[in-house]
Chains A and B, each alone.
Chain A
Amino acid sequence: MQQQQTDPLADNPFFVLGLAPDCSRQEIEREGQKLLGLLELGLSRAATYQTPLGPRERTPELVRGAMAELRDPKRRVVHELWADVAQATSVAHERAEQAQASPGEAPAWTDVWQLFDWRAP
């Protein structure tokens, strides 16, 4: 419980670098360097990356971490297994989940605090 490693799915190095699991070593270095450059320049095209959990913010730490993870074949193979979420699968689930959206939730009463003379957070 204490050991909080990076999230194997959301921070998967392949997603962070935007590469396919069967990419070459050179591609990892090249793409990593490019992303680090883009991030240093603050360019919007490198700001986020896609994951099965939706888009996430990309940071230089994440990119460097991803490169280090993929350089080590021992770690890389496990990441490859995590990155094997087929695009089709996640889209299908997206649709399925939209179809079964949760039952009509009533809205929240955000300023309810005033009734008891409490300050709203």
Chain B
Amino acid sequence: MVRRHKRENSDTLLTRMTLTTPRYVGIDLGTTNSAAAVFDGEQVTAVRNAQGASLTPSVVRIDGRGNITVGARARRYLERDAKNTRGEFKRLMGTSQDLAFASADITRKPEELSAEVLKSLRKDIEDQFGFAPQRAVISVPALFELPQNAATSEAARLAGFEQVELLQEPIASALAAGWSAEESAGSWLVYDLGGGTFDASLLETRDGLLRVIGHDGDNFLGGRDFDWAIVDWLLAQIKQQTEVELSRSKPEHTAAITRLKQLAEEAKIELSRNESTEIAIIELPVPGGDPLDLEVSLDREMLETLCLALVDRTLDVCTRLCKTHGLDPGGLHHVVLVGGPSVMPIVRRRVQQVLQVAPTEGLDPMTLVARGAAIYAATAGLDARPESRPEPVPESQRVWLQHPAMSSDLTPHVVGKLVDSEPDKAPGEIRVLRSDGLWESPWTEVDEEGAFVLSVTLIPRRPNIFRIEGRRGPEQKVAIEPPTFTIVQGLTISDPPLSRTVGVALANNRVRVYFERGAPLPVRRTFNLRTVETVPAGSEECILKIPIVQGEFDDAHLCRLVGSLELRGEKLKQHLPAGAEVEVTIELDRGGRMSARALVPSLDQVFEQVAHLLVPEATPEVLAANLEATQQRVIELRAEAFQAKIISAIGRLNSIESRLASLETDVAAAAGGDTDAAQKARRAFLELDAEIEQIELDKRWPELEEEARETVIWASATIADFGLPHEAKLLTDTAKAIEQAKNNRDALELQRQLRLLARLGSTASLRHPHAWHHRFERAASKADQATDLVAAQALVKEGKVAINKDDVPALRRITQKLWQLLPDDPEDRKLGHNSGVR
């Protein structure tokens, strides 16, 4: 937010070529469509492309000769020439997935394709505004993972941008809406229904400060689901009319399905304006049959019936978000709708019904994000104009200025420092004058460090240009470089918050939290960790991993691995003993790009290479296996929940099951070669896993209580019969502690006390004359699970002989041997991403 005239730039002080005031550029790099906007301090203008549209489809085509086409012209080929045309590659950002273009026989990374879209937008700006932007703000989804952010930055670099900042989409929307609103104080809800995701963000403006209060969303719900609902309906219609059965999970039907989906999308858009539409299906390719021709009519009522459940799911998210932040229904002041699918009349109607506030009118939901990004560029001081060398002003004094580029404050501070000043030529006093001539600051003394602090007064809602003057004596004026600076009065936006907690996974499967969710970006933090294992120098197979994870869970294995610092034996100068200190620093810039470094002070060596900063790949086989396992887990849990009559768990399991159903289609689509659906499914599984884990934890409580009850009864009986006085005393203490833990619902403490009680009881039970007899029986009953069956059976035989002889020492020896052959009690072995630090 502070505009920085960098020290290294200070000796080539810059003037702007043709434009007197700064221009700020914002870009919405969308999944289906992209847009750009330019802000001049007063007005935000959406950029139009060569076709005159403000939206450029995010589609890239590379033909056999290597010619690249982007946008609407490429989109036409999406269906006709799918092998050479690619769309929706945003979802693959940050993965290692290469996209092939068959005719040209080349592959491109998702970020390279995004770069083509950015280049095209950059060209449009140049055509319309006369300059090629060097700096810009690009919006990213709020829940983008770190590798995806990194890929977006890379795309911008490839497109020729010198500097970009990333901004979360909901903040961009709110910023745009807040800028255009007359009266902007209060709570905002940004309802962002995109192609594949739904995001709801709660914001608040007060005293000109825009602040994000919270996010929520559904990563598995978007406009495409509406399209799929129509496609499914179409498939049913086709089957009914022609008896041809097409399926989304069959790779050979892909061409037909893609075609239907496009028709569905068009029909959906059409129905936003009209009451009904005719869908003309012409020459639909059917494998092993003649192409189909038929016409289906779809009206708005039918469409709304198909989509109502989906719309209501988005509204559930909104009400949940409001409730979490203590906002009653009706407590909202504004609702802003963003994204193509949000123009559907049913969305507007349901929003108004449920949230009890009319969506803000007069905003273009398609370019809102780009507009917001452009305004944000102003608050970040990212002037997009190219730089040029200044006219050398003789005898001028250079100053290094610090001030907010945009501020809600009417009287912000301006801080400055003289650069390379000579004692006899430096100004002793500085003042600033506003360009309208209606305000000037008093002369302010420059201190011994050559610094000065001034308070300036701004005119609301416009760019304010100030001139700086310096003087040595009352008469001797000194020219100042730069002679002017600009501050826009508008909104102050809080620093972008981090969307997910970031930390380092430790060897004990815990997480050392570096930054909590909501921490203002940029951030940097260093913690001293210690290695748990020796890494010999020169050893190739020994690698010490420092896994970096993202997520809000205490257990590392539940969080997502987003990168890993690796201390490789072959790169070490000397042995790195266990227990050695490692200073691990993680840094995130404003756009959420991560860098990490590990310094080993004892070796004086730095490791900076973050390995596999990639979204893991999702193969269809793994996904299918995952699906099956998850379904099985849900079925088991549900049965248990029914038995135990845990209503809340049943409710949550139902919701998981409904999501699993939609996941099934994604997994099927992944098997059909849809890599995008595969990524979507992968993320869905991670979230579902975490949720199921939580349910299991909750479910364990009644079980634990039951176990506690039984253990107390058993231990009391055993200790009463065979216990010693001090054991009886301990039993009373432990029983009391168990009761207390039960009251506090402290599962950990309860388990601890139970372990203690079990030991007490088993110690006492050993005094039972037939103690070893019982133990042997119990062990023998599990002999079929032994690791060595033959040995176990032999031991069982021996044991029976010992019982007959009443040889207790022998029986005991045999039982202990038998125990060693039996599998350990089933405890989960959870690995903290193989972390080598504690």
Residue numbers of A with Cβ under 8 A of B are 2-5, 24-26, 29-30, 33-34, 36-38, 40-41, 43-45, 61, 64-65, 67-68, 71-72
Contact = CB atoms under 8 A, between A and B. Distances in A.
Interface in B718-750: none
A43 B449 contact: yes
Given A36-B402, A71-B211, A26 B409 contact: yes
B318 to A, nearest CB: 21
Contacts of A5: 513, 516
A41 B412 contact: no
Contacts of B413: 30, 33-34, 37
B409 A37 contact: no
A72 B522 CA distance: 18
8 contacts: A2-B511, A26-B207, A30-B412, A33-B404, A41-B415, A61-B522, A64-B495, A65-B523
B220 interface: no
B524 interface: yes
B819 to A, nearest CB: 35
Contacts of A37: 2, 402-403, 413-415
A38 B209 contact: no
Given A64-B495, A65-B520, A68-B520, 12 more contacts: A30-B411, A36-B2, A37-B402, A37-B403, A40-B2, A41-B400, A41-B416, A41-B451, A45-B451, A65-B519, A67-B520, A71-B211
Given A30-B411, A43-B417, A71 B494 contact: yes
A34 B453 contact: yes
B4 interface: yes
B209 A25 contact: yes
A3 B513 contact: yes
B512 A4 contact: yes
Contacts of B77: none
Interface string B768-782: 000000000000000
A72 B211 contact: yes
Nearest to B453: A34
B207 A25 contact: yes
Nearest to B414: A37
B144 interface: no
Contacts of B412: 30, 33
Interface string B485-514: 000000010110100000000100011110
Contacts of A2: 506, 510-513, 554
A29 B1 CA distance: 11
Contacts of B835: none
A37 B400 CA distance: 10
B417 A41 contact: yes
Contacts of B513: 2-5
Nearest to A25: B207
B269 to A, nearest CB: 40
Interface string B448-461: 01010100000000
A11 B523 CA distance: 15
Contacts of B417: 41, 43
B56 interface: no
Given A33-B2, A37-B415, A68 B449 contact: no
A2 B752 CA distance: 20
A29 B402 CA distance: 14
Contacts of B1: 33
A40 B494 CA distance: 19
Contacts of A45: 449, 451
Secondary structure of the B side of the interface?
strand
B652 interface: no
B266 to A, nearest CB: 45
Interface of B: 1-2, 4, 206-207, 209, 211, 400, 402-404, 407-409, 411-417, 449, 451, 453, 492, 494-495, 497, 506, 510-513, 516, 518-520, 522-525, 527, 554
Contacts of B520: 64-65, 67-68
Nearest 3 Cβ contacts at the A-B interface: A37-B402, A37-B415, A68-B520
Contacts of A67: 494-495, 520
A45 B453 CA distance: 11
Contacts of B495: 64, 67-68
B524 A34 contact: no
Contacts of B415: 34, 37-38, 41, 43
A27 to B, nearest CB: 10
A4 to B, nearest CB: 7
B402 A41 contact: yes
B409 A61 contact: no
B2 A61 contact: no
A68 B495 CA distance: 7
Contacts of B510: 2
Nearest to B451: A43
B2 A44 contact: no
Contacts of B408: 29
Contacts of B411: 30
A105 B538 CA distance: 48
Nearest to A31: B413
Contact of A33 (B206, B407, B527): B407
Contacts of A43: 415, 417, 449, 451
A34 to B, nearest CB: 4
A43 B418 CA distance: 11
B450 to A, nearest CB: 9
A115 to B, nearest CB: 25
A71 B209 contact: yes
A42 to B, nearest CB: 8
Nearest to A34: B413
A120 B494 CA distance: 50
Contacts of B519: 65, 68
B448 to A, nearest CB: 10
Contacts of B4: 40
A40 B402 contact: yes
Report which residue of B402, B416, B497 has the largest number of chain A beta carbons within 10 angstroms of its beta carbon.
B402
A34 B407 CA distance: 12
Nearest to B211: A71
Nearest to A44: B449
Contacts of A29: 209, 407-409, 492
A2 B513 CA distance: 7
Contacts of A38: 402, 415, 451, 453
A61 to B, nearest CB: 6
Given A2-B513, A68-B494, A30 B409 contact: yes
Contacts of B497: 68
Contacts of B512: 2, 4
A24 to B, nearest CB: 8
A3 B513 CA distance: 6
A60 B27 CA distance: 28
A44 B415 CA distance: 13
Given A33-B404, A34-B415, A61 B209 contact: no
A32 to B, nearest CB: 9
Nearest to B3: A37
A41 B409 CA distance: 22
A66 to B, nearest CB: 10
Contacts of A65: 519-520, 523
B202 to A, nearest CB: 12
Contacts of B522: 61, 64
A49 to B, nearest CB: 17
A24 B516 CA distance: 26
Contacts of A34: 413, 415, 453
Contacts of B525: 61
Contact of B523 (A41, A61, A72): A61
Nearest to B521: A64
Contacts of A33: 1-2, 403-404, 407, 409, 412-413
B2 A25 contact: no
Report which residue of A41, A44, A65 has the largest number of chain B beta carbons within 10 angstroms of its beta carbon.
A41
A48 to B, nearest CB: 15
A41 B2 CA distance: 12
Contacts of B404: 33
A30 to B, nearest CB: 6
